[in-house]
Amino acid sequence: MGKLVENGPKSMVIGILALQGAFVEHQVMLQKLAPSLHVEISVNLVRSIQDLQACDALVIPGGESTTIALLAKHSGLLDPLRDFIKTKPVWGSCAGAILMSRSVTNAKQGGQDLLGGLSVTTVRNGWGSQIESFEAPLVVTSLSQPDRPFQGVFIRAPAVLSIDLAPEDPPLRVIARLPVDLLPNTQSVIQENQGLADHFNPQTVVAFRQGNHLFTSFHPELTKDDRFHDYFVQECVIPSLITNPSSNMLK
């Protein structure tokens, strides 16, 4: 799967924010994938500012976004994470994707600290509660073996309510959509745009790329399919290390 990138990095450190949620599953998947890539990958769990400083890229896993934000606040990680996102590749999956949104609706009482980085407004639990969780095959042509659908696992997933691109924001490229007929009809919060065709409906967007960041509202780490992890390393992390050869590339 891995392609040899000329003048590419020899090694990299990918951190996984390990305060709550599915961080072990991301770690296992990245560690399994590493030997097939032509680069040495250390996968580090991140729980402190020092852990974060050692990383070239970060995965913020699914779990519970309010809890992750609270724990990040208590660990003094909120601002360091915000700074990290400004310069390095970060992948937010599910709760992680909520945290990387510019704004969020349906937050828990008391509000929700966000990390930002992505030009979207999301709604927490966009498809409803745990029992409305579902799986759906996604057509993702940016992945290797594009003809093979990727099984999206949506667990109390956020939905994209709107894409709010400011002129100075990096372009946003949609990677995967759900067909309109799979959009929820139970949640009044996201019914408004349902008349729109897939292509124009932000609520159909379930994965996108913005700059070197990746957003997935579902959980690739809970499948056996490592193509999103491969995509993150090859398309987001390696290019960022080539244009911005930081410490770890020269190790």
Ligand X SMILES: NC(=O)CC[C@H](N)C(=O)O
What residues from 141 to 160 belong to the interface with ligand X (CB under 6 A)? 155-156
Residue 126 in the binding site for ligand X (CB under 6 A): no
Among 24-32, 57-65, 161-169, 170-178, which window interacts with ligand X (CB under 6 A)? 57-65
102 is in an annotated binding site: no
Binding of ligand X by 119 (CB under 6 A)? no
Strand, coil or helix: what is 238? helix
Element (H or E) spanning 97, and its range?
helix 95-99
Q: Alpha-carbon distance 187 to 143, whole Å? A: 31
Is 238 annotated as contributing to ligand binding? no
Active-site residue identified among 26, 213, 219, 229: 219
168 is an active site residue? no
- Residue 99 to residues 36, 42, 102, 113: CA-CA distances in angstroms? 30, 24, 8, 8
Kindly name the residue from 26, 213, 221, 229 that is annotated as catalytic: 221
Q: Residue 173 annotated as binding? A: no
Residue 213 falls in the annotated catalytic set: no
Q: How far apart are CA 31 and CA 25, in angstroms?
A: 10
Name the segment binding ligand X (CB under 6 A); options: 3-11, 62-70, 169-177, 232-240. Answer: 62-70
End-to-end alpha carbon distance in the chain: 25
Q: Tell me, what DSSP letter sits at residue 219?
A: -
Stretch that binds ligand X, among 27-35, 90-98, 137-145, 220-228 (CB under 6 A): 90-98
Torsional sign, CA 123, 128, 130, 132:
negative
**Which residue is it, tokens 């967007």?**
205
CA angle 108, 158, 66 (to 5 degrees): 30
Considering the complex, state which of residue 18 and residue 94 has its C-beta at the smaller distance from ligand X: 94
177 is in an annotated binding site: no
Q: Is 52 in the site for ligand X (CB under 6 A)?
A: no
Closest approach of ligand X to the CB of residue 130, in Å: 9
Q: For ligand X, give the closer residue by CB, 9 or 208.
A: 208
Q: Annotated catalytic, 236?
A: no
Q: Are 104 and 160 a contacting pair, CB within 8 Å?
A: no
Q: Is 124 in the site for ligand X (CB under 6 A)?
A: yes
Question: With the CA atoms of 101, 243, 232 and 159 taken in that order, what torsion angle do they form, in degrees rounded to the nearest 10?
Answer: 20
- Which part of the chain contacts ligand X (CB under 6 A), choosing from 29-37, 60-68, 134-142, 201-209? 60-68
Annotated catalytic residues are 94, 219, 221
Binding site for ligand X (CB under 6 A): 62-65, 94-95, 98, 124-125, 155-156
